[in-house]
Amino acid sequence: MQFRDKTGQFGRRAVITALGFAQILAWGTSFYFPAVFATAIVADTGWSLGWVVSGTSIGLLVAGLISPQVGRLIDRHGGRPVLLASSLFFAVGLTGAGLAPNLPLYLFAWTLIGIGMGTGLYDAVFAALGRLYGSEARGPITNLTLFGGFASTICWPLSAFMIDHVGWRIACLIYAGLHLAIALPLQMLVIGPTPARAAPDPAQPDRPARPSRIDNETLIFALLVVVMSITAGIGSIVIVNFMIFLQARGVDYAVAVSLGTLFGPAQVGARVVERLFGNRYHPIWTMIASCSLMAIGLILLLGYFPILIVIILLYGAGYGVSWIGRGTLPLALFGPLRFPVLMGKLAFPSLIVQAAAPSAGAWLIEASGANVTIAVLTMLALVNVVLIGLLWATCRARISTDS
């Protein structure tokens, strides 16, 4: 297999494969961490489940707070230093969590993992790919999400196996070692140093200037922020409380777990379709499809549609391609030169919402029940369909030109 191009640099296939393995490890040891680890940690330490799970919320909060600066760093220096730093922070944070003698130190470890999330999950890697490949980054971004879709499929059973055999603390240390032994060298190998991007020099009028603002940029940016934030918030609540929602529909827990295994394949399947046909249409149609499918899935769940597999496949497909639209739509609308910085700014509010959403969802379920929570999520999903339609109408002329 050819891994390097004619210039001696690693080709896109090698770059995406290496980053893909790093993404599986990054997502599996952060966003998907509590699904398997939380029960074991509570049983061993006596810490409350709410506080243990809130470690992930702290990590997402930290990731959101640093995302604008991460975008500026990638824009200025390329993705290499940021992605390498992410592996180091994941390793140190997971080591701290595994060795934590008390809850405060455990939560502090999650602030370090949060820095790893902010510098190593999709938003940062999308920005890095935009910096590396420019306007041709749509394909690499889509391909990368195919790897990320397998994070829970791989890491959940692996985590359960390690916890059963060596305990949750040693499992954390093993994951820290994998970040150092696999993710760090892979990213170091395939992502070479990127020349720093110099600021425009007024004394050199022939030098290309940074691209100017687009028409209706403030409105477009605001709509993107709200759409991405609502999508992230709904996604977080549904993932955390998925079993509760199914059981509220009268599904036995064991059956609910079995149905839940379809969620990952639904995401990956939709991303494969996007990979095969995405170059034929503007990325805004990816986001329109995402918002629509998520809304339809929630409407069917709210309406007690009897074929739950259909609900899971529709909603999972919509949520799966939302991550592609999250990276490719800003790239198409604002252009590759401004993409890294704007990606960091766009990620900030959505990550904050993503951090707060699980707690808000739990509060709503306790206060009003699962049925009311599903109704609220359905309403928000319908609002998101309206907003993405408004974004399409605002950008219609630009989209037609790009197409």
Name the class of domain 217-402. mainly alpha
pLDDT tens digits, one per residue of 21-41: 999 999 999 988 887 888 899
Q: CB–CB of 392/288 below 8 Å?
A: yes
For residue 24, give the H/E element and its range. helix 12-28
Task: Tell me how far apart the terminal alpha carbons of the chain are, to the nearest angstrom.
Answer: 34
Least confident of 2-6, 158-162, 372-376: 2-6
Are 12-190 and 217-402 in the same CATH fold?
yes
The values of phi and psi at residue 332, to 5°, are -70, -35
Question: What pLDDT, on a 0 to 100 scale, did the predictor assign at position 210?
Answer: 56
Q: Report the chain's C-alpha Rg in angstroms.
A: 21
Q: Which residue has the tokens 């379809």?
A: 262
CATH architecture of residue range(s) 12-190: Up-down Bundle (1.20)
Q: pTM score > 0.85 for this model?
A: no
CB atoms within 10 A of CB 334: 22
Highest mean pLDDT, choosing among 55-59, 164-168, 346-350: 164-168
Residues 113-135: b if buried by 16+ CB within 10 A, e if exposed: bbbbbbbbbbbbbbbbbbbbbee
> Phi and psi at residue 170, in whole multiples of 5°?
-65, -35
Tokens of 221: 């940016």
Distance CA 213, CA 342 (A): 12
- The domain ranges of the chain are 12-190, 217-402
Whole-number Å distance between alpha carbons of 181 and 373: 42
Contacts of 336 (CB under 8 A, 6+ apart): 130, 131, 133, 134, 135, 137
| Run of H or E residues at 273 | helix 263-277
Q: Which one-letter amino acid corresponds to residue 100? A: A
Alpha-carbon distance of 334 to 246, in angstroms, equals 40
Q: Do residues 231 and 224 lie in contact, with contact meaning Cβ atoms separated by under 8 Å?
A: no
> Mind listing the pLDDT tens digit for each residue in 320-352?
999 888 888 988 888 888 888 888 888 889 888
Find the mean pLDDT for residues 361-377.
88
Residue 398 is encoded by which pair of tokens?
């630009």
Residue 187 contacts residue 84 (beta carbons within 8 Å):
yes
Q: Quick one: pLDDT band at residue 222, thresholds 50, 70, 90? A: very high
